[in-house]
Structure 1
Amino acid sequence: MFLIPSHILFFSTLSFGVMMAVSSSSWFTAWMGLELNLLSFIPLISSETNQFSSEASLKYFLTQALASAMILLASSAMVAGIGFSYYLLTIALLIKMGAAPFHMWFPMVAEGVGWLQFIILSTIQKIAPMALMSYTIEDSYWLILIVAAFSAMTGALGGINQMMLRKLMAYSSIGHTAWMLSTLLVSESLWFIYFGVYCITSSTIAIFFYYKQAYHLNHLLSGSMQNPPQNCIMFMSLLSLGGLPPFTGFIPKWITIQELTMTSYTFLTFFLIVGTLINLYYYLRLTLASFMMASPMLKWQFLEQNSTSKMTTLLFLLNLVGLLSSPMVYMMS
């Protein structure tokens, strides 16, 4: 994907749009950055080898165009001094990041894109709306609080019966969006830590599925996936994404829970923890299916050289960071 010159160009303009939106001093320039980001991402979605890419790009464009129009309307209402303008602006940003209950487009778009495009959709495309959201927290506090609790439960319950891996990861992203919104209520630095860890864990799992060309739960039971070291690494990465101690993904959730309880967000913390437990349930179902229901391997499959051994080592080291740093964080807290 990123070796094609046109894709390099569009990815560069996409990144520039994010930086423009984050560093803007007015809502109009922020809107321009969001539009540049939108128009740069649509060509990256389109693919001749994926028959669902056109449908996904159209759904993404219509949803983001609606949210952009709401941003323009809200910014005009701010100038006129209308009271509901901040709520309208917050709703538009929530639509852009795919937070519940404005999330219906996110799993459908995720189902029609490839794994590399999914990484951009679930990570980079959330930066600008999240950064702009920090400017509206004081004026739309209760709305963000309710949306964070709703997103935690939607991301958890929506992924239970999913057999498609991209939809499952999409609902997982919605659940993590709830945690990111919760960190914004506490501090921006905490959001930066949580978002960074989420990007690493989510991207490594998506890259693993990309190299294995796994799109359905049944693909994890095929012969090409029956590699015990890789299955173990995938198991650790999924549990790290779910926030199970002592893996890397547990550290930012641990800090977030501490900060939320210290600032009297007990109600929100309850929904976040319950949603995480449900997420861990279908992560365990995903990994146990790969371990327990594996078909017998032939002798030549054991001797076959693995082309992704470097990636497996990298994933192991990333998960090892949590195993080593969790006691240090506990001692410092």
Structure 2
Amino acid sequence: MPFSPYKIMFSLTLFSGTLLTISSSSWFSAWIGLELNLMSFIPLISSKTNQFSSEASLKYFLIQALGSAIIILTSSLTLIYPNFVPMVISLALLLKLGATPFHFWFPQVMEGLNWTQVIILMTIQKLGPMFLISYLSMTFFTNTFILISAVSSAIVGALGGINQTSLRKILSYSSINHMSWMLIAMLINETSWMIYFLMYALISSSIALYFMSLQSFYFPHLIHSNYSPLSKITSALSLYSLGGMPPFSGFIPKWIIIQEMILSSFLFTLLILLISSLVTLYFYIRLTLSFISISTAQSKWNMVLKTPKSFYPALWASLNLFGLLIPSSLLVI
């Protein structure tokens, strides 16, 4: 049952835990929000009939429980070690986010989820830890660890997705790569990372919804299919938007962060992030050229081109294609 009462209840408590974490004024209430969010997400992804979802829920629970334990234990030492505590809490929050070097669990958990659960894990589940990182008092060591994690996330997210054939793992490594841009934006400007996260959430959700409408989970599903050329081209251009290629919508938040980094003299870090984005665009283009140009052999009288089952995912995906027209339309107005 897609709209069963227990799913609605756990979804409401999941949103409530995220809101409690964001609006908390102490680490104890933030920890309560994180635990409420965790205990609501586990029933949503666990299943008795699916072995992969059970394994993913167990891995997710162990990692998140470890991060929450580190946060609540370390926050009790705030008055004794005021410079040491923010650094350890930032490491625990990076573990909960799946940022490098604590990224090892994220692609494995993503592989065991369906597309709806993937959307929640990529968007809502990242809100609480990211807001808590932005609330931290930025000491020298905290800034250094976040900067190192951002640079390594860019490299791992770019190189990790090159040889992947699973669409969910490709999105997971893309999420790790986008995490580096948001972490750098936190060090510079609090507003810019929120804009980046909002655009990233919209773009990644639209792509996941579109793949869900196509019932595609692996790269061969896109190649060996009789979907219409418009469906294939739309999914390809949506992936380009996720990679940040102009003139699509995904380029707008990166454009903002690039300007902020240039003004703040993060030039070497910006070079690494741009090279990593080029690598992600490389494997997106390599994938999409294959499933656009290759089509399966079918009898002419038996060939029926498929379209997505619902109109709305295609509409969401089409929003990725007109990003740079928004500023020009504002100028015309």
State if a TM-score over 0.5 links the two structures. Answer: yes
After superposing the two structures, state which structure 1 stretch, 78-87 or 199-208, moved more: 78-87
Q: Which residue is equivalent to 2:252?
A: 251
Q: Which residue is equivalent to 1:92?
A: 92
Distance in structure 2 (CA, Å) of the matches to 1:112 and 1:303: 29
Distance in structure 2 (CA, Å) of the matches to 1:33 and 1:55: 24
Structure-2 change in CA distance of 1:137 and 1:222 (3 Å): farther
Cα contact 2:56–2:108 (8 A) shared by 1: yes
Query: Would you say 1:321 and 2:306 are equivalent positions?
Result: no
Give the drift of 1:223: 2.3
Query: Would you say 1:147 and 2:140 are equivalent positions?
Result: no
Cα contact 2:252–2:324 (8 A) shared by 1: no
Q: How many residues align?
A: 329
Name the aligned partner's letter for residue 254 of structure 2: K
Distance in structure 2 (CA, Å) of the matches to 1:268 and 1:85: 26
Give the drift of 1:242: 0.4
Give the drift of 1:165: 1.2
Q: Which residue is equivalent to 1:209?
A: 211
Cα contact 1:251–1:326 (8 A) shared by 2: no
Cα contact 2:22–2:132 (8 A) shared by 1: yes
In structure 2, stretches of 5+ residues that fail to align are none
Structure-2 change in CA distance of 1:77 and 1:211 (3 Å): same
RMSD: 1.9
Q: Which residue is equivalent to 1:10?
A: 10
Give the drift of 1:207: 1.0
Q: Which residue is equivalent to 1:108?
A: 108
The 3-state SS of whatever aligns with 1:13 is helix
TM superposition score normalised by structure 2: 0.94
Give the drift of 1:137: 5.3
The 3-state SS of whatever aligns with 2:78 is helix
Distance in structure 1 (CA, Å) of the matches to 2:256 and 2:209: 27
Give the drift of 1:149: 0.5
Cα contact 2:308–2:314 (8 A) shared by 1: no
Cα contact 1:38–1:61 (8 A) shared by 2: yes
Structure-2 change in CA distance of 1:102 and 1:279 (3 Å): same
Q: Which residue is equivalent to 2:75?
A: 75
Distance in structure 2 (CA, Å) of the matches to 1:34 and 1:260: 31
Deviation track 1:73-100 (CA, whole Å, cap 9, x = no partner) reads 2201213235321111000000011100
Name the aligned partner's letter for residue 323 of structure 2: G
Distance in structure 2 (CA, Å) of the matches to 1:37 and 1:310: 28
Cα contact 2:232–2:291 (8 A) shared by 1: yes
Distance in structure 2 (CA, Å) of the matches to 1:217 and 1:305: 18
1:172-183 paired onto structure 2 within 5 Å: 172-183=174-185
Q: Which residue is equivalent to 1:294?
A: 295
Distance in structure 2 (CA, Å) of the matches to 1:305 and 1:328: 31
Percent identity for Structure 1 against Structure 2: 49
Structure-2 change in CA distance of 1:197 and 1:299 (3 Å): farther
Deviation track 1:6-65 (CA, whole Å, cap 9, x = no partner) reads 111111100000000010000010000000000000001112443211111110000001
Name the aligned partner's letter for residue 80 of structure 1: I
Q: Which residue is equivalent to 1:55?
A: 55
Distance in structure 2 (CA, Å) of the matches to 1:179 and 1:123: 15
Distance in structure 1 (CA, Å) of the matches to 2:60 and 2:305: 44
The 3-state SS of whatever aligns with 1:47 is coil
Q: Which residue is equivalent to 1:197?
A: 199
Give the drift of 1:221: 1.4
Structure-2 change in CA distance of 1:117 and 1:156 (3 Å): same
Distance in structure 1 (CA, Å) of the matches to 2:306 and 2:241: 29
Deviation track 1:288-320 (CA, whole Å, cap 9, x = no partner) reads 12111221354554466653334323422x124
Q: Which residue is equivalent to 2:165?
A: 163
Cα contact 1:201–1:249 (8 A) shared by 2: yes
Q: Which residue is equivalent to 1:229?
A: 230
Cα contact 1:2–1:8 (8 A) shared by 2: no
Distance in structure 1 (CA, Å) of the matches to 2:186 and 2:132: 11
Distance in structure 2 (CA, Å) of the matches to 1:148 and 1:205: 24
Q: Which residue is equivalent to 1:46?
A: 46
Structure-2 change in CA distance of 1:62 and 1:246 (3 Å): same
Cα contact 1:260–1:269 (8 A) shared by 2: yes
TM superposition score normalised by structure 1: 0.94
The 3-state SS of whatever aligns with 2:323 is helix
